[in-house]
Structure 1
């Protein structure tokens, strides 16, 4: 199997494996302190605090696209669950919402084979920072759409979403119906992964990618229309929109750019490009490929889904960056949560460092391309980040 077939399958197959997986011969460093629930003894992980100057507000949207039949259910309209995060006034808003609901947590742990190792309460009680319904800070902010990996919920990108919002972005993290182990929808419904039965082939993965691109265009329509679906949509600057995604969500970010010119920039975090970059490029728009140590040039495969052949078609500003000692989940909340839960590490890079590097490079990319603030961090390696590699295929 060539590498982007491994990373092509990283977007699917690796996500179907229990997580995290121990790496033979890897000595795990002592995990950082975790918060414990005094009444139950359950370990409650704590996500790293956002680094920006703003507090963070959070609201949840349920969106229904009645113009499309759901491709996985074969009936009924296409539905999305979206968590909106935004710069908020300090001291406002209600409690922080659970990282997952109890049923979402139960289904995710069962999907990973971790029912006996991790308590449901550890996931529902994971500490985050966005306050529900907090009052927004007046202004107009760039919008970033985040799409998670296949089978995992949008909650897995919470650390990144909260950090971006604290730095002055509106962030829309999306769960695509029937593509996770379990996502709670209104009416007490929890939709499970019907797509898992149909996405095992290259054609199926392309269908997931293209379908997500259509989801995102619908989301942008609903957030930027004259009668938007979100009450705080006036915060969004419709001329500064970008997208990032993990795994197949990263593939969808590039596909959404190809399909929707409103998306000015995109980041693919370790996902195979199941909808290849068009031969004519992306109109000069910037793209960053941010990968694990396995996603280096010459190691991503030569088929149409690989980063190597698609790199040549990217016709604007572009970077190919990898982190040493990392793995496919480095760009999500999982590493820092796993460290605190005492689970075996799947790569030597500590969880807190994984979050720090991901936030730093993703934030720099959007600051440069949506806010026009030059970022020397993106020009090449730095002494303060020896794990980071810049590649020029």
Structure 2
């Protein structure tokens, strides 16, 4: 892939075993249980069709089709655990990443913590909404650990598969959309196009989850005045684009993604947080965050994990052990998930709930791997 900081490189193959999460006794990956809130988590999947626009990657498709997974609080105390992805999605993802030596359906057997199609719980207009956007070529399920954590803490979470931008999206009836965009990711202007497509996708998803166009049975539980977006890699870059397009999004987080959408000179005044690996330190090899930082005129933070890898903010390290792969960097799979959950949750609690979170104001002895950066001085501590 050619999008530095936004594409999803091939899964790593060599690193000390201690850096990877242990698979279960049956040899399948396990998503760690949520630590926030104590609420059980339910999940369901929505098929959405935007007839107002053709698909930007497949012009002969007259409508843009999306698959969205929702995670949310429930009162359910049992039931069937949700699948991580389908067997075909697992196969195409592993083939796309050139992973060999394991059954191609292995990712579909990953153990999750959410109950499939459980009834949503909460008071009317009482739950903030968080949209998650994954990295390029990666399915929405690869942000499951974060999604389940947020749902257990009282958020509705919508993970969006941006069709034709990952190795496999399964539509109703078993039809599978493969990665058409992978054929053009080296083209000039690809990043700008991709974040624009995702911004439009997110606005459409918000239309279908809130207001008169709501399509989900639990939509009445969502507080449409408290919406944020979090993304990884090009999904994080898309958080900027989506906020510029849609004022309903009150805050955003970019996890290790080079940005493309240009913030106007008047600035972006809503809360925003950058969270990345060493390559995204101030003055580092990627200057897009330095450029955008000056135009973020509201509350903002810049967090760097020097020992992290590009994928440390996703489920990929948690899957690596069962796949016989290693994870680069010095932050273990479990620790990466814990830190990502903590900082993302703190941002959302502060800006969507108004709850003070000192974690965001100074270096933390609990998470010494994470540094708060002062870009004006090109320092992090």
Give the alignment's TM-score, normalised by structure 2.
0.94
The equivalent residue for 1:182 is: 168
Deviation at 1:300, TM superposition (A): 3.9
Worse-superposed segment, 172-181 or 120-129 = 120-129
Give the total of aligned pairs: 371
Q: In 2 relative to 1, CA 50–164 (structure 1 residues): closer, same or farther, beyond 3 Å?
A: same
The reply on whether 1:297 has 2:297 as its aligned counterpart is no
Partner of 1:40: none
Q: CA deviation at 1:243?
A: 0.3
Q: Distance in 2 between matches of 1:262 and 1:146?
A: 15
Query: Is 1:100 the equivalent of 2:92?
Result: no
Among 5, 8, 15, the residue aligned to 1:10: 5
After TM superposition, the structure 1 = structure 2 runs for residues 237-316 of structure 1, keeping only pairs within 5 Å, are 237-282=223-268, 284-302=269-287, 306-316=288-298
Asked if 2 retains the 8 angstrom alpha-carbon contact of 1:368 and 1:375, the reply is yes
Mapped pair 1:19 → 2:11: yes
Say if 1:109 and 1:118, in contact at 8 Å, map to a contact too.
Answer: no
Structure 1 residue 340: Cα displacement: 4.4
Q: Of 27, 33, 40, which residue of structure 2 is paired with 1:49?
A: 33
Q: Which residue of 2 aligns with 1:216?
A: 202
Distance in structure 1 (CA, Å) of the matches to 2:20 and 2:250: 39
Shift, 1:244, TM fit: 0.4
Q: Does 1:29 align with 2:18?
A: yes
Secondary structure at the counterpart of residue 60 of structure 1:
strand
Residues 32/112 of structure 1: CA separation in 2 closer, same or farther (3 Å cut): closer
Q: Which residue of 2 aligns with 1:131?
A: 115
Contact 1:88/1:134 (8 A) holds in 2: yes
Q: Is the CA contact (8 Å cut-off) linking 1:336 and 1:351 kept in structure 2?
A: yes
What 5-or-longer segments of structure 1 have no aligned partner?
A: 38-42
- Greater mean deviation of Cα atoms: 313-322 or 336-345: 336-345
Alpha-carbon offset, residue 348 of structure 1: 2.0
Equivalent residues in 2 for 1:142-157, closer than 5 Å: 142-157=128-143
Is residue 143–residue 314 contact of structure 2 (8 Å, CA) maintained in 1? yes
1:276: how far off?
2.2
Alpha-carbon distance in structure 1 between the residues aligned to 2:187 and 2:5: 13
Query: 1:225 aligns to what?
Result: 211
Q: CA, structure 1 residues 150+271, in 2 after alignment: closer, same or farther (shift >3 Å)?
A: same
Gaps of at least 5 residues in structure 2 are 376-381
Q: Distance in 2 between matches of 1:279 and 1:21?
A: 43
Asked if residue 197 in structure 1 is aligned to residue 197 in structure 2, the reply is no
